[in-house]
Each structure stands twice: as C-alpha cells, then as structure tokens.
Chain A
C-alpha cells in the first residue's frame, strides 16, 4: 500500500500570500498524483491530476509539480475562497487507492 504524507498539517497564511503544500509518497507513484480541494460541507473538487495538469476550470494560480515520491501544490496568491483542506491522492498502485491526510490552509 502506498502511504501519502502531507505537510504541513496546517498552513496559516493571509490572502495574497503564496501557499506551498507538500505530499510525499512511501514509494514512487511516477506522476500519478492528484490534488483535491475540500471546503466544509462540500464534496472534494479536483484541482490537479497527473502531478501538474490543471483540471477544467481551475485557475492558473494553482499549480502542481513533482514526480516519483515528492510533490508540491502551489497557490501563487491566495484568494479568500482558497482557504480549505487540500488532499493528494495516488493512483499508481491500487487497491487500495490512497489519499494523504490533508493540509488545512487557514486564514492567519
């Protein structure tokens, strides 16, 4: 089973600041890594797939990078609607499909 470790658990930032979220895999997942955003009371929303491809309708301020075991989600300038929990997910080895534990981006 591939274990995904996200850091930090919580990121406290102000609107306009840059957010850098990390996801580390216990073994190589090549580039088969996705990022999702989830707000309270809402379903997850696909942001990035295959490490660096933005999903349809996702703003350019969201970008993904990395391959193998180390991945990064960057939000270049935080908008008020970006404060949420972010999850990474791998699909190279399943079942089980695995998600990271999440990073909460909160307003400082």
Chain B
C-alpha cells in the first residue's frame, strides 16, 4: 500500500488549496478514505471521510471545524483522493494525512495505512 499526498503549501488567510492523495497497492474503490490533520503542537484531528455508497454515489463526512469550507472527493478511475480547502484560516495550518480505512466495503474508521503527509501553512 502506498499513499502519496501532494498540493500543500503556503496560502494566505481566506485563500484556497486542493490536496491530492495518490493511492496504489490496493483496490482503492472499495475502501473508505479519510483526511486527518496534525496541527503544530497539537494532537491528531480527523477532518473528513468519503466512501462509495453504490448507486447513490459517495457518502461524505466532515468535522464541524471544516464543514462548509472543505470538500472531500475521490476519483476511483485514478485511484485518487482529494480535499478542496477554501476560506482557509490560520488554525487550518497543519500536516494533512491521507488515511485508508482498515476494512473494505465498510464505514470502518480504523486507519491502517497513512501517507507521509503534506504541510499546509496559512499565513
């Protein structure tokens, strides 16, 4: 399993950024995928998750701190996960990790594989 994040960088408050996570080594489309962040000097914070729900399309979930500002999406044809971030605030400064759920075809929220992370700095 390999998860490689990209798209982080320095952005001004109020700005936007799109993070990507390229996945390989597993059947991407049957796993729930998530974004988890680690703010400097703080603990881990789950940000968002997405899982395919058959014909009804993907189900998405968000932490209250990012709801309405961040949008998670996935392109299973490209084995890729995305996080569109807008109206960014200083408190969104963090390393953002892409994390794979442990159990396929479920809303399992145990994360057994993580990317190396991408740093977002809002300043």
Which of A13-21, A67-75, A98-106 forms contacts with chain B?
A98-106
Which residue in chain B gives the minimum CB-CB distance to A44?
A: B114
Complex: how many Å from CA A96 to CA B47? 8
Determine if A43 and B45 form an interchain contact, defined as CB atoms under 8 angstroms apart. Answer: no
Complex: how many Å from CA A87 to CA B44? 8
Determine if A44 and B43 form an interchain contact, defined as CB atoms under 8 angstroms apart. Answer: no
Determine if A98 and B46 form an interchain contact, defined as CB atoms under 8 angstroms apart. Answer: yes
Q: Scan A82-99; emit 1 where CB is below 8 A from any B CB, else 0.
A: 000001010100111111
The contact of B102 among A36, A49, A99, by CB within 8 Å, is A49
CB distance from A95 to the nearest CB of B (A): 5
Determine if B97 and A96 form an interchain contact, defined as CB atoms under 8 angstroms apart. Answer: no
Determine if A96 and B64 form an interchain contact, defined as CB atoms under 8 angstroms apart. Answer: yes
Residues in A with CB closer than 8 Å to B34 are 97
The contact of B49 among A45, A97, A99, A100, by CB within 8 Å, is A97
Question: A99-B46, A100-B43, A102-B43 are contacts. A43–B102 as well, Cβ < 8 Å?
Answer: no
**Interfacial residues, chain A to chain B (CB-CB below 8 A):** 34, 36, 38, 42-46, 49-50, 55-56, 87, 89, 91, 94-102
